[in-house]
Structure 1
Amino acid sequence: MNNLAIGKKLSLVIAIQLALVSQVSAADKDSNTAADSDKTSVNDSYIEKMQIIGHDARLSKQTGSATLIDELELEQFKFDDINRVLYSVPGVNIREEDGYGLRPNIGFRGATPERSKKINIMEDGVLIGPAPYSAASAYYFPMTSKMTAIEVFKGPAAIKYGPNTVAGSLNMVTRAVPQSSEGLIDVSAGSDGFAKAHGYYGNTIDNFGFLIEGVHMRADGFKELDGGGDTGFEKNDIMAKLRYDLAGDSFDQVFELKLAYADETSDETYLGLTDDDFAANPNRRYVASQLDNMDWQHTQVQFNHFITGDNFDVTTRVYRNDFDRAWYKINGFKQFDNTYESLQEILANPDKNEDTRAFYNILTGSQDSVTEAQKLILGNNDRTYYSQGIQSDLNLQLELFGLEHQFATGVRFHQDQIERNHTTDVYLMQQANLVSDGSDTKASTTDREKTDAWSVYLQDTISISALDITAGVRGEFIDAHYQNRAPGEELNYLNKTTRIWLPSFSAFYTLSDNAGLLFGVHEGFLPTSPKQDPSIDVESSINYELGGRYNDGNFNLELIGFFNDISNLKEGCQFSSCGSDDDTEFNGGEVDILGLELTSGYSISLTDDIDLPMSLSYTYTQSEFKTSFESGFDMWGNVTAGDELPYLPENQLAVNLGLVSDQWDVNMIVRYIGEMKEASGEGVVLSGSTTEALTVVDMSASYNFNQYGLVYVKADNLFDTQEIVSRRPYGARPSKPQQFQVGYQYRF
């Protein structure tokens, strides 16, 4: 399909949207509503459109496992780590990394969690990853503390939120401009030098509203660097919103401008420990990581326009995100050939021979570098990203041929880019300190990947008595370009195109006001990056789900079984998984993923003033390669049919208990994550290795002094249980230890 044909299709979609809006507008010209009630209505509707999951009915008729974590729930534990928020969501699989959630690894329904690259990560309905098409790994992640809602959606509705339709979407909703004067001051301090300051103020005067919000967070870190030094982080996030409500005779409108800036400096490393050193002290850090540091800045501009009438609304978003990052970190030892082991091999077996023992001693600072091979290579992965685009979504309710239809259609033009300017330096270990050997900094990777992507979706829900049938399709039309920018390599470039249509079908049958059954099937898709050889195929699958819901307002239950029939699995090497910055991708052929998601909640009134809310979330997942093959991918190796996927626990469970009154509350969450394989097959360093099962208890309590504010205390990992959460890329890395925190909130 050529660009002209694509343009015609997209023009047709836009024309249909405009025509429908014009028809509805003309029909509504004679309607008159008071301006004040219009303003409230349009603002409420606009806020709803920033979200995926609605609040219209007690029994949700959405297909797929839709989970909304609202502001009230987020306030219960006051988590600042997205991982801890999502552990209670069924079907979510996570590989922890730094303990604070600085760079999450999140997957849905068995999709690899590596750098959250297989899910759509959105903020206020807009793709927020640094370069979602060109370099999907999410090295930037929005600050959880400023969110008022977190939404997870899996299943057929994934076609509305591409490009990745294999797993689902994560949408984070920032604070809306308030309708009246409103503000907050939230300060807290805790273990390991943790401190947070969070505040906002907003108001609406006549038709004009504004909001200013800022968050500062820091910690000294819980890891103990040999010889002393920083292992913590410092983050800042500032956001401003300007909104104007315009009520009219035919339709109402909202105009909103959002501006945001965020930065982080963190003394984080990829270097872990040997298993023996982990057993002795899981929070130890070798001196070889003393210079490791991540430094990034992120800016965002987003303009939203929302227009609504009696039976339609159109939301248009224009956005631009810029992200600059430099991660200076240990890469390995200087090598002239393949006779020396990688850092992963050294830490997996430091006593293999004299060379590995010497390398290990150098990492710990107990031995100085002597030979050229014993010099250390530190790399600066300096990258510049941008992501920009315009998208418009139309929702329309009307009656055709005696049936109720809910149309949803949208079109988006998106462009993103990554430029790599990676360099390396050579260091000696001298008296437990890294000292430059005096050689010049060398360029290692200098390239650019860029993507232009048009996408369009159309979805229609037809109501026939108790049955709601939804059929839809998504189109992705991707033009990708790779350019090697190193001197003398300018002719090394690649242009690729991808054209694909992704169908979807789902149904919901209402058994009663409180219960219903659901079924869905949709095609999963994951594009390859621009630099990958065309021989690497996109990921493709057919995904099924079947389940039911019950909700009577006090007790709710949702049980969904899913089956992902993957015809071609695609994975890639990042530094976080393989210790390599070449981002090479691999195909793994056919894979089956089978699972069950259960979530339930119930609230008991103990007295007139005290309630006991309870909730449970359980996920069971099985995976299986259907063919045998040999792979150069570190997480696969030599796979035999029947082998499981790595970093996918079979069982996950979260139980939440609370005691809640009008003035105080106490909450506890117990979560269990089963063991996970670190490599699927044989022949790679971590073959046969697994992470241990982990049970963690988090608690929080708060007391409201009314006009004097609210005091809260919280404990993450109350019983201080730590296990190895991963041995990638270089050695064993721990879960977060026990941490206490006390804070104060004042609302005005």
Structure 2
Amino acid sequence: MKSFSLSPLALALAAAAAAPVIAQESETQLETISVIGDAETIAELPGSAHLIDADQLARFEFVDINRMVRSVPGVYITEEDGYGLRPNIGIRGASGGRSGKISLMEDGVLIAPAPYSAPEAYYSPTAGRLEGIEVLKGPGTLKYGPFTVGGAVNMLSTPIPQAAEGMVQLEAGQFGENRLHSYYGASTENTGWLLETHQQRADGFRDIDRADSADIAKEDYLLKGRINSAADATYRQQLDIKLQYSEEESGMSYLGLTDADFDRDPNRRYGISAEDEMQNRHSTVQLNHSIQLSDSFTLNTQAYYNKFKRDWFKASEGDLIAAANGGDTFAQAVLDGEADYDFGIKHNNRQYEARGLQVSGDWQLATGGVSHELTVGLRSHWDEVDRYQPTENYQQIDGQLSFVDKSLPNASNNRVGEANATSFFIYDDIQLSEQLTLTATLRYEDVELSEQRYDDPERTIKGAKAENQVDEWLPGLGLVYDVSETWSLLAGVHRGFAPPGAGSQDGFGPELSTNYEWGARFNGGNLFGEVIAFFSDYENAVQNCSVAVPCDNGADSGTFQLGEAEIKGLEASFGTEWALTNGWNMPLRASYTYTDAETTEDSDDGDKLAGDNFAYLPENVFALSASLDSGAAWRVNLTAAYQDEMCVNTECNRGGTDRFDYTESLWVWDAAAHYDFSQDLSAYLKVDNLFDEQVIVNRGPDGARANRPRTATLGMKFVF
């Protein structure tokens, strides 16, 4: 694994773009890449939106994005590795598998390795270095796309500071966990820069039979630069460059446990998976340019290039788990290392590239006494996924693994998928009166998809080829009516869309839905809340098939049509702050999501029946956080999150199910205490999973897996 030391050469490789939230920059800079902007803007949006800012993130010092977003209503997470390295985030019923049905962005740019041709996000930005997270649902998602069925998540990187400033953060904790996060940057009137690194290591909490633990080493580097014109220039301009590089080595596996073994030790891992390891590298180049051509018109341009290479060397022995759960003694003996066994470990080796150019213009104008904030945008995007996945054959003899030989890949593991996409949107925020705001949106997506398979390792013999093309116009309307200074009503409707993926055949349609929402907001200073009902009517629900989330027909690649479906639910959030004696105060926040989803019509082949549920979709999700702030040196924070059990397939509503068809419900509590030694130096103690509750949170793809056990960590932060 990687050492914890930093090399000057590695730092020089780093990466990143314009500061995400303009309020944190000097007044001469132009905002280009924030989705929401700031907390005050949320009240003006026609749809549900949430901003997790730097102050909220600092309360618990999470490094797992699952823990960061679980308090946002309408969001569901499915844990996998306990560290959030490859999150599974779903929004309003849209599938959470590999976050493949949401527009996942960093600083306003699509960040999934190949968002059109292979949307499953096997890469996610390092959560521990984020400055904030924006979650947007409703008609406003049409500005970003291509995934508008659920919503958009925009992760915000550290902004360039207004003056010379730096920070060093160190952590050490249980299971060999340690972390370093550091940055330094400076600004002048016309320039700015930032250099940042985040390094994370852990021995892991899963113990592998007859082997070491499943350790983790991830390092991330970021470099930003900025040039901007003087404040009194005729045309104010700003040019930003962002360079980012990260790499990871982690002993992660898809192999879980039988239920009986889970009950005995949820943190065990079978020795047959001892060779499993993920290795990946990610790099980004992003250029942002803004020019203010007049007091009412600004032109923004972003060019980006993302590259991601991964090799997830892992055994897939789900059949052994299923057989052992069914009482097969030989399968259990293999898992225990007591029976000899021949098996293969596949190199899930893939290279991804994505590049694009997006241009948008912001125009403020008035027509007939009605004011408009008009945004028009165009994006040209290309991405590719190249799979070349040989298998290494092993024997387990007397509990030890021995390499035998290598099998070259067949056509399904030797293929290249590609997507060319052109999208266009018009977004008009219309102030019809002092109380009423109407938002009209229109998006167009034109996607050409192809996949070429090869029948020989040298790729001289072309095999099957799939080609597809989809194009859709996606309209949306939203309104906000201010009943009073504290109450407002909102409603919206928009067209949901998700492209079908590179392996889809000609005529295979995209995922399409009509999405409705309506609700109310209240903001009375120290008391605020929001209740929103949502309903999504799917003409065609589509599942992306992967090894991580196989489709109902057993496929682990391509796409699978689920047919017509309905998703309905309710989101509620609430917050207040109580002033106590002697300067102490207690902020409280709570959120709740109820979701009901089902297929509404039998499929032609009979595989899907009306009434079938959605897989890995909890009915109830709840989160509560409370803080006790002395107003001086001490702060104590406590958060609790609940998620219902989930069906792991789409047939639980048919009856005849057993416990192997479900995950388990979970309450998990996290706590953190901070103490400020001075304005610049602070220390904290955080405990994740305070009461050490572990249950089956995931059964995919190969057996039962637990959430992270209780983990205590001590950290210090120095700002200079």
Q: Which TM-score applies when normalising by structure 1?
A: 0.89
User: Could you tell me which of 180, 187, 199 is aligned with 2:182?
Assistant: 199
In structure 2, the residue corresponding to 1:575 is in which secondary structure?
A: coil
Q: Which residue of 2 aligns with 1:550?
A: 522
Cα–Cα, structure 1 residues 402 and 261, in superposed 2: closer, same or farther, change >3 Å? same
Quote how far apart the aligned CAs of 1:51 are.
1.2
The range that moved more, 206-215 or 267-276, is 206-215
**Correspondence 1:395-474 to 2 at 5 A:** 395-438=362-405, 441-442=408-409, 445-465=413-433, 466-474=435-443
Output the CA distance in 1 between the equivalents of 2:448 and 2:494.
24
With over 3 angstroms needed to count, the CA separation of the structure-2 counterparts of 1:252 and 1:608, relative to structure 1, is farther
Match of 1:530 among 487, 496, 502: 502
Contact 2:299 2:362 in 1 (8 A): yes
- Selected match of 1:284 from 268, 291, 305: 268
Mapped partners of 1:420, 1:729: distance in 2: 20
CA shift for structure 1 position 305: 0.6
Deviates most, 455-464 or 711-720: 455-464
Bigger mean CA offset, 519-528 vs 661-670: 661-670
Quick check: 2:39–2:51 contact (8 Å CA) kept in 1? no
Does structure 1 residue 79 correspond to structure 2 residue 47?
no
Q: Decide which of 51, 57, 64 is 1:68's aligned counterpart.
A: 51
Deviates further, 431-440 or 295-304: 431-440
2:656 matches 1:672: no
Distance 1:44 1:320, change over 3 A: farther
The aligned runs of 1:579-598 (5 Å cut-off) are 582-598=556-572
- Residues 1:599 and 2:580 are matched in the alignment: no
- Distance change >3 Å, CA 280–CA 638, structure 1 → 2: farther
Q: Deviations over 1:22-64 (max 9, x none)?
A: xxxxxxxxxxxxxxxxx99984575643211133737711021
- 1:494 CA displacement: 2.7
1: CA distance, partners of 2:671 / 2:121: 29
Q: Where does residue 3 of structure 1 map in the other structure?
A: none
Q: Hey, what does 2:126 align to over in structure 1?
A: 143
State the alpha-carbon separation in 1 of the partners of residues 38 and 223 from structure 2. 26
2:146 maps to 1:163: yes
| Residue of structure 2 equivalent to 1:295 | 279
Amino acid at match of 2:686: K
Report whether the alignment pairs 1:724 with 2:696.
yes
Separation in 2 of the partners of 1:395 and 1:694? 45
Compute the displacement of 1:619 (Å): 0.4
Partner of 1:624: 598
Where 1:324 maps in the other structure, the secondary structure is: strand
The yes-or-no answer on 1:227 pairing with 2:210 is yes
Please report how far the alpha carbon of residue 414 of structure 1 lies from its aligned counterpart in structure 2 after TM superposition.
Answer: 0.6
Secondary structure at 2:549 match in 1 = helix
The residue aligned with 2:352 is 385
Change in Cα spacing, 1:279 to 1:60, as seen in structure 2 (3 Å) is same
Letter in structure 1 aligned against 2:650: S
Deviations along 1:508-545, one digit per CA (max 9) or x if unpaired, are: 10112222100000000111112212353211000000
Distance 1:646 1:325 in 2: 27
Show the 5 A alignment for 1:560-575: 560-575=532-547
1:270 paired residue number: 254
SS in 1 for 2:462: coil
Query: In 1, distance between residues paired with 2:265 and 2:133?
Result: 35
Alignment-derived partner of residue 376 in structure 1 = 343
Which residue number in structure 2 is paired with residue 363 of structure 1? 335
Deviations along 1:213-261, one digit per CA (max 9) or x if unpaired, are: 0010011000011113130211000000010111254331111111110
Structure 2 residue 155 is the aligned partner of structure 1 residue 172? yes
1:596 touches 1:621 (CA, 8 Å); kept in 2? yes
Distance 1:658 1:41 in 2: 25
Cα distance in structure 1, aligned partners of 2:711 and 2:443: 45
Q: Which of these two proteins has the greater Rg computed from alpha carbons?
A: 1
On the 8 A contact 1:424/1:443 being kept in 2, the answer is no
Q: CA deviation at 1:352?
A: 4.6
Q: Aligned Cα RMSD in Å?
A: 2.1
Q: How far apart are the structure 2 equivalents of 1:649 and 1:582?
A: 23
In structure 1, what is the equivalent of residue 297 of structure 2? 312
Which residue of structure 1 lines up, in the alignment, with residue 611 of structure 2?
642
Query: In the alignment, is residue 735 of structure 1 matched against residue 697 of structure 2?
Result: no
Query: In the alignment, does 2:92 pair up with 1:109?
Result: yes
Q: Distance in 2 between matches of 1:696 and 1:381?
A: 33
> Which residue of the other structure, out of 361, 366, 369, is the alignment partner of 1:394?
361
Q: Deviations over 1:90-141 (max 9, x none)?
A: 0001111000001110000011100000000000000011000010000000
Contact 1:717 1:739 in 2 (8 A): yes
Q: CA deviation at 1:582?
A: 4.4
> 1:483 pairs with 452, 459, 462, which one?
452
In structure 2, relative to structure 1, the CA distance for the partners of 1:668 and 1:464 (3 Å cut) is same
Residues 1:152 and 1:733: Cα distance change in structure 2 (over 3 Å): same
8 A contact 1:77–1:714 mirrored in 2? yes
Q: Give the paired residue count.
A: 687
Cα distance in 2, alignment partners of residues 629 and 232 from structure 1: 44
Question: Deviation string for 1:671-711 (max 9, x for gaps)?
Answer: 11111111121699989721111000000010111156100
CA contact 1:421–1:443 (8 Å) conserved in 2:
no
SS in 1 for 2:492: strand
Mapped partners of 1:501, 1:549: distance in 2: 30
Distance apart, 1:481 and its partner CA: 2.0
1:668 and 1:351 map into 2 onto residues whose CA distance is 38
* 3-state DSSP of counterpart to 2:506: coil
Q: Aligned partner of 1:358: which letter?
A: F
Flag the 1:436–1:685 CA change in 2: closer, same or farther, 3 A.
Answer: farther
**Equivalent position to 2:40, from 46, 57, 72:** 57
Distance in 1, Cα, partners of 2:24 & 2:364: 17
- Quick check: 2:164–2:187 contact (8 Å CA) kept in 1? yes
> TM-score, normalization: structure 2?
0.92
Once residues 326 and 431 of structure 2 are traced to their aligned partners in structure 1, the CA distance between those partners, rounded to angstroms, is 67
1:714 to 686, 689, 697: 686
The CA deviation at 1:439 is: 5.3
Shift, 1:179, TM fit: 1.4
1:325 aligns with 2:310: yes
Deviation at 1:193, TM superposition (A): 0.4
User: Which stretches in structure 2 are left out of the alignment for 5+ residues?
Assistant: 1-21
Unaligned ranges ≥5, structure 1: 1-38, 332-342, 370-374, 632-636
Match of 2:166 among 183, 187, 194: 183
Structure 1 Cα separation of the partners of residues 609 and 407 of structure 2 = 46
Distance 2:609 2:467 in 1: 35
Higher deviation after alignment, 56-65 or 260-269: 56-65
% identical aligned pairs: 38
Distance 2:704 2:464 in 1: 38
Q: C-alpha displacement at 1:484, in angstroms?
A: 1.3
Residue 394 of structure 1: CA displacement? 1.5
Task: Answer yes or no: is the 8 Å Cα contact 2:243–2:286 preserved in 1.
Answer: yes
SS in structure 1 of the partner of residue 509 of structure 2: coil
2:487 maps to a residue whose letter is: A
> Which of the numbers 493, 496, 518 marks the counterpart of 1:521?
493
The one-letter code of the counterpart of 1:222 is F
Q: Contact 1:658–1:666 at 8 Å: present in 2 too?
A: yes
Cα deviation for residue 572 of structure 1 reads 2.4
Give the counterpart letter for 1:674 in structure 2: D
C-alpha contact (below 8 Å) 2:513/2:538 kept by paired residues? yes
- Mapped partners of 1:520, 1:316: distance in 2: 29
* Residue 351 to residue 543, structure 1, CA distance change in 2 (3 Å): closer
Secondary structure at 1:544 match in 2: strand
State the SS of the aligned residue for 1:54: coil
Distance 1:688 1:268, change over 3 A: closer
Q: Distance in 1 between matches of 2:588 and 2:325?
A: 50
